[in-house]
Amino acid sequence: MLNLNQTDDNSNPIQDPVSLNVGGEIYTTTLDTLTRCRDSMLGAMFTGQIPVLRDNRGNVFIDRDGKVFRYILNFLRSSSLDLPDDFSELALLRQEADFFQIHPLLEQIHRYEATMPLCLKRGPLGAMIIANFDSKVCVIRF
Residue by residue, what is the 3-state secondary structure of 21-72?
Answer: EECCEEEEECHHHHCCCCCCHHHHHCCCCCCCEECCCCCEEECCCHHHHHHH
Residue 1 confidence (pLDDT): 33
134 within domain boundaries:
yes
**11 in a structural domain:** no
Q: In 3-state terms, what secondary structure has residue 112?
A: helix
In a domain, 53, yes or no: yes
Beta-ladder partners of 130: 139
Residue 10: pLDDT band with limits 50, 70, 90: very low
Whether 61 maps to a domain, the answer reads yes
Mean pLDDT, the chain, rounded, equals 84
Predicted TM-score of the model (pTM)? 0.74
Domain span at residue 38 reads 18-141
Q: 117 in a domain, yes or no? A: yes
In a domain, residue 4? The reply is no
Distance, in Å, from the CA atom of 125 to the CA atom of 142, rounded to the nearest integer, reads: 9
Please tell me the predicted confidence (pLDDT) of residue 4: 36
Number of domains in the chain: 1
pLDDT in tens, 82-124: 999 889 999 999 999 999 999 999 999 999 999 877 655 555 5
- Asked whether the predicted pLDDT for residue 55 surpasses 70, the reply is yes
Q: What CATH number corresponds to the domain at position 82? A: 3.30.710.10
